[in-house]
Amino acid sequence: MNNEYGGIVATGIARSFGTVAAIRHIDFAAPPGEVTALIGPNGSGKTTLLLILASLLAPDTGTLTVGGVDPLRDAAAVRRTVGWMPDTLGVWESLTATEILTTMGSLYGMPSDRRRERAAELLAAVRLEEFADKPARVLSRGQQQRLSLARALIHDPAVLLLDEPASGLDPGSRVELRATLRSLADQGKTVVVSSHVLSELDEIADRAVFINRGESVKNQTLDEAGTQIRRYYIQADPMEPLAEALTSHGVTFEVRGDSRRAEYQVMMSSTDQAAWLLRTLILADVAITAFAPAGGALEETYMSLDTDRQ
């Protein structure tokens, strides 16, 4: 995570609003060329941290560099390299989608032919060409979300900060968002995504920073997350032979109560152990109808952390 390559390095960040400590102590790092997920419950300080990284808020304490530059020293240099997609949908409603993007380009000092070209290109990329000349107020929430992503990309930033980019998107757009973020990271850009849709992040994030109550509680790569203890759900028809087989092999299980159908939950320390159990159950003639990890790797970490979700 060397500064020379850009990326984000933040250590010991704290920020309070009056008496409310939004961020107590966060260490955060996002290397270029990777998608870093910022995960935490509501009110844990995700948005505040992104505002600090975007050079809009000053931290009370701590040091940070974004793209190798300290925002407190040279905010303009940081802004040239940062694209920020806020969690609120602030749009200039009377402007058309094209005008919003070209206006944004002009605020970054892009020459007029370049920003028009770029606007058309981005509108095509987020599939909003048919709304190019329609006022932004007619866009649906998901479409505005996509326009907001295009707006963040207008000046081709090296660092991309996305606050809940997937909220309000339909499944098709989520898949596209995933592909877009992946390809941006593959170009060497630093991509930071905050979200609580963990299954989405599982597939695109290279690493994750978990924060809770304004503190960074865990920092892991997805490869690490894959090797940890995970929960598996098993269904069989009928369920009785499954219970017997599990008991006879000394596997402890519990009945999952929050599902529509009867399910058993077991803890597996590795994928090898899961494979062994499945093979054993089938050989014991248990009619397995479902055998799957309970959630994504990130969700597993999230649930295992002592987080509070009030």
Partner 1 sequence: MSTSTTEQPGSTGASTDLTLSYWNGVKAVFGLEMRQRLRARAWYIMLVIWFFVIGLVFLLASVTTAATEGSGAILFDLVVGFVLFFGLLVAPGLSANAVNGDRAAGTLAILQITLLTPGQILWGKWLASWVASLAFLLVSSPFIFWALALGGVNPAEAFTSLLMLSVELGIVSAIGIGISALANRPLFSIVTTYMVVALLGIGTLITFGLSYALVDEENVEVTYSYLDYPPGTDFSAPIPASVELECVTRTQLQTVHHTDRTTWLLAANPFVIVADSVPYSRGGDFGQVSQPANPDVYVQPGIMEGISVGVRLLQAGPDYETTCEEAQGFGRDLPDESFPIWPLGLVLQSALAGGLLWLGRGKLATPARRLAQGTRIA
Residues that bind partner 1 (CB under 8 A): 6, 17-18, 32, 47, 51-52, 54-58, 71-72, 75-77, 79-82, 84, 86-92, 94-95, 99, 103-104, 106-110, 121-122, 124-127, 135, 151, 153, 155-158, 176-177, 179-180, 182-184, 186-189
58 or 292, CB closer to partner 1?
58
Using the 8-state DSSP alphabet, how is residue 239 labeled?
S
Question: Cβ 149 to partner 1, closest distance in Å?
Answer: 8
State which residue, 87 or 215, has the beta carbon closest to partner 1: 87
Rounded-to-integer distance, Cα 108 and Cα 113, Å: 14
Mapped onto helix, strand or coil, the DSSP state of residue 147 is helix
Quick one: 22 or 242, whose CB is closer to partner 1?
A: 22
Question: Rounded to a whole number, what is the distance in angstroms from the first to the last CA of the chain?
Answer: 34
Letter string b/e over residues 71-80, b meaning 16 or more CB atoms within 10 A of that residue's CB: beeebebbbb
| The one-letter amino acid at 107 | L
Could you say which DSSP state residue 125 is in?
A: H
* Nearest residue (CB) to partner 1, 188 versus 238: 188
Instruction: Please spell the DSSP secondary structure of 254-291, one letter per residue.
Output: EEE-SSSS-EEEEEESSHHHHHHHHHHHHHTT--EEEE
**Pairing of β 35-39 and β 215-221:** unpaired
Report the residue number, 40 or 157, with the smaller CB distance to partner 1.
Answer: 157
Q: Which CB sits closer to partner 1, 146 or 207?
A: 146
Note whether 152 and 183 are within 8 A (CB): no
**Least distance to partner 1, CB of residue 136, Å:** 11
197 phi/psi in degrees, rounded to 5: -85, 85
Q: What is the DSSP code (8-state) at residue 141? A: H
